[in-house]
Structure 1
Amino acid sequence: MIVFEGNNRVVFGENTLSELEFSIYQKKMNSPLAYQYDSLGTLLFELDMRTQIVESSRALSKSGVYFAGFDNTQCNPAYWHLTNHGRYQLKPGVAPQDAIRDIFKNGTSYAFECSMAVVIIMYKAILESIDARQFDILFSDLLLFDWHSNSNLHLIDRDVIEEAVSGDIIYFENPEYEPTIPWGKGENVIMMENDHYYGHGYGLDLASEQQVIMILNKHRMPGSTQSAFRTDRFVHPDFSYFSLFQSSKRRQPIIAKVGEAIYVQQGWTQPKSGR
């Protein structure tokens, strides 16, 4: 269940939430676990940012970026310095927001593996959710690698997979993968709508759980008996933290409190990011 402001009941007006946002809200509301929010605004920010994660996943899938292992990673040298370990280090004098947008604009200049992909998606979603100038301040020394190495994403670990919703990062493990194909070890994916996932690599794009497992199983050792599987662990950014940096130009919802209920009307929308 969702808990905030003294356990008030929330009533959303028609078209206040998108279909995706409402499905996320309903799943959290019907959960046996308690999801605590300090305000209605924080909840609305999370719903919007989760939408941005899904939209950024779609945008990356259409950008023309290539899949590559760490040894063959590529990037646009106008924005990034490629380190010996396949990391992208932001070049001096480059605005972080411009460097992130370039990946989606000039995708054919980039090649990376799946964990890098989910990190890029997270940064793009944050950029589209907060004030762009704040984004440049927060990530002034931007270094892209896997999500284990990006502490400034403020990722939160969860381990009850049934609670995962659209916008979460989920990992599929392939315990008996072929060692000569190291990227067959597993797949980092973004949970999308309708029990589908976005994965970068293997031509996955949008796939069901069964399809992800089937593709990973093609990269097992000869004679292996253990199938790839979806792990129970998943992660997502600390939405409450990033809500502190949202643009002051963001239009706020019309909110009215009547008794123990809070009524919310349309009006909370996302403007285009810019300097």
Structure 2
Amino acid sequence: MRNNALTRNWALMLLCALLFGGAAQARELLAVGTQFPRILEFDAKGIARGLAVDLLTRAAAQQGHTVRFESLPWARAQLVVEQGLADVLVGPYRSPERLQRFLFSQLAFYEDALVFYASPAKAELWQGDWSRSSGRSVGLVLGWAYGDAMEQARSSLLISHPGDVATGLRMLQRGRIDLLASNERNTTPVLEAMGLSAQFLVLKPPIAVQTGHFAYSRNASGEELRVNLDRSLEALRSNGTLRELARQWAVRIPD
């Protein structure tokens, strides 16, 4: 009888440890980013929606977590994750500079072609040959990463840093810059909202193709979170969930 009682007590203690130990580890994650059309959007009430929201919420749930999304200016969003004040940065492209500041998800969950925008009168400034744009004024949105080719060409360009796409388009409209580097996913809705769709051309070929990730603080907590979420994100890619969500949100994903 005594042995049976001891067995029951140990079984009860083990069950409590499993239940309450798991609950202690489960928590609300803070994910931050800025308005990325169809990736991370916020409505008038501050409710988040988009591919990143659906995907990260599912991945976190597999680890027992919930996620709260917060909208911040892009430079500020990067800073709070870098400082460990938020758990996840939503959507950054990888770059050598960012790899020094953040841990990136193994999975790239969307893809953008970065392109130049220009007035029809200046369309000849870009046809894939950087020498055509040498000495010209180019707008690069503050905090964005544009790839190796742009980095190599920087010294031959007159660079301005508009704080967002809308500011860059106004600069383009007023002739303060000759070219604006952006992506169509971000820029098309802004052009439509500003009534400027007919004023500018998308110049081909693309400057670069960049892939977007989730990123985490470069510390032990960030590394643990990255490893665990990578496992769940890979499962969501393998079972087709990522592809179906990307189809629903009309977002390109890497092959």
Greater helix percent: which structure? 2
Q: TM-score, normalised by structure 2?
A: 0.30
Q: TM-score, normalised by structure 1?
A: 0.29
